[in-house]
């Protein structure tokens, strides 16, 4: 499934004395089965933008089109919102705060039941999702509140991926996790991408962006100011005011290239890519 955002405006507390515009004319396209990053400083409007994708916020003006679903300012026209939310799921920042059931499996099955699955089917799919996020049978009947932070987050994410959406939107999925937790979450997301899903992440973690994203959008003051590949962003980030930190790996590759090494920066996403590139060019 692809997303098309057309001239989107959103204003918080419209028609009051505290009205604050958050999005000012955003247009973008996200292709089917792509891995997209949305970047920008705090308060730039990224979170507002992703919340319009599954109609949690209705735009003040403009439209969001997700395949046959259309989200616009008129409430009456947005009939199939629930159907849309089945296909496009949003994982909020710190999703562990949305857990509430007595057991892990029940919590994961909760979303499925809301979307009309029978109890047994829901539990079966819940178990599959839990195994997918790396939580084995011993976790199924435990209380989600006894788990560690990282485990809680995996349960919450399992609750979303169990719904099996075509598009998965994650708001800072790795915030506040230890490095191992981060990696396991990102592996999981990558796995979903490899299975044909469209992934959209909002993040401040540039190393993650460099490693996984195919394309990034930079949001500033409610407008898209950059669109392109992560490495293209990093190579111009110094000159522009994008409020992002260039990852050390990119800086290293850039320095090496400037020092005369013959490497293709666009191919480098991880440190092993860089090593491979250096080795090849030495022998070649």
Partner 1 sequence: MASVVFGRFSPYNTFVHRLDPRNKIFMVILLMVMIFLRIGNWSTTYILCGVYLLFLIIIMLIAKISFLELFKSLKSMWFLVLFIFAIYVFLPATVEIKETGHVAFYINTYPIYWESFLQSGYIIFRLIMMIALMMLLTSTTTPMNLTYAFEWYMSPLKVIKFPTHEIAMTLSIALRFIPTLLDETERIQKAQASRGVDFNKGGLFKRFKAIVSLIIPLFISAIDRSEQLADAMEARGFDPKMKRTRYRILKFHLRDLISLLFVLILFAGVLTLFIFDKNGYPIDILNFFFNIKTKF
Measured from the CB atom, the residue of 6 and 101 that comes closer to partner 1 is 101
Counts for the chain of helices (H) and strands (E), in that order: 11, 10
Minimum separation from the CB atom of position 167 to partner 1 (A): 12
Q: What is the largest CA-CA distance in the chain?
A: 67
**Is 183 an interacting residue with respect to partner 1 (CB under 8 A)?**
no
**Is 75 an interacting residue with respect to partner 1 (CB under 8 A)?**
no
Place of tokens 């997700």: 66
From residue 29 to residue 68, what is the string marking binding to partner 1 with x (rule CB under 8 A)?
Answer: ----------------------x--x-x------------
Residues 82-121 that bind partner 1 (CB under 8 A): 82, 85-86, 89-92, 95, 97-100, 110-111, 114-115
From residue 139 to residue 178, what is the string marking binding to partner 1 with x (rule CB under 8 A)?
Answer: ------x-------------xx--x---------------
Minimum separation from the CB atom of position 116 to partner 1 (A): 9
Cβ neighbours of 281 (radius 10 Å): 12
Q: Which long-range contacts (CB under 8 A, 24 or more apart) does 271-279 make?
A: 274/249
Phi and psi, residue 259, nearest 5°: -80, 0
Cβ neighbours of 241 (radius 10 Å): 9
Give the C-alpha separation, 142 to 130, whole Å. Answer: 12
Residues that bind partner 1 (CB under 8 A): 16-18, 51, 54, 56, 82, 85-86, 89-92, 95, 97-100, 110-111, 114-115, 145, 159-160, 163
């Amino acid at each position: 499934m692809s997303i098309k955002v057309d001239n989107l405006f959103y204003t918080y507390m419209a028609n009051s004395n505290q009205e604050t515009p958050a999005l000012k004319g955003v247009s973008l396209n996200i292709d089917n089965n792509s891995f997209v990053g949305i970047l920008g400083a705090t308060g730039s409007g990224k979170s507002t933008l992703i919340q319009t994708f599954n109609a949690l916020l209705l735009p003040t003006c403009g439209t969001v089109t997700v395949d046959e679903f259309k989200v616009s300012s008129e409430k009456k026209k947005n009939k199939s919102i629930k159907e849309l939310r089945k296909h496009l799921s949003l994982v909020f920042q710190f999703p562990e705060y949305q857990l509430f059931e007595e057991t892990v499996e029940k919590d994961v099955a909760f979303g499925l039941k809301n979307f009309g699955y029978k109890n047994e089917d829901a539990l079966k799919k819940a178990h599959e999702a839990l195994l997918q996020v790396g939580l084995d049978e011993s976790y199924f009947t435990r209380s989600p509140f006894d788990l560690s932070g990282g485990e809680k987050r995996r349960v919450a994410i399992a609750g979303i991926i169990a719904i099996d959406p075509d598009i998965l939107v994650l708001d800072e999925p790795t915030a506040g996790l230890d490095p191992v937790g981060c990696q396991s979450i990102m592996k999981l997301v990558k796995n979903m991408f490899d299975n044909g899903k469209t992934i959209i992440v909002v993040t401040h973690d540039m190393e993650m962006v460099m490693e996984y994203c195919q394309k990034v959008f930079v949001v500033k003051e409610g407008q898209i100011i950059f669109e392109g590949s992560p490495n293209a962003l990093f190579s111009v980030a110094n000159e522009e005011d994008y409020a992002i930190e260039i990852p050390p790996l990119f800086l290293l590759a850039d320095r090496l290239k400037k020092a005369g090494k013959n490497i293709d920066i666009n191919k480098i996403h991880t440190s092993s890519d860089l090593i491979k590139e250096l080795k090849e060019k030495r022998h070649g």
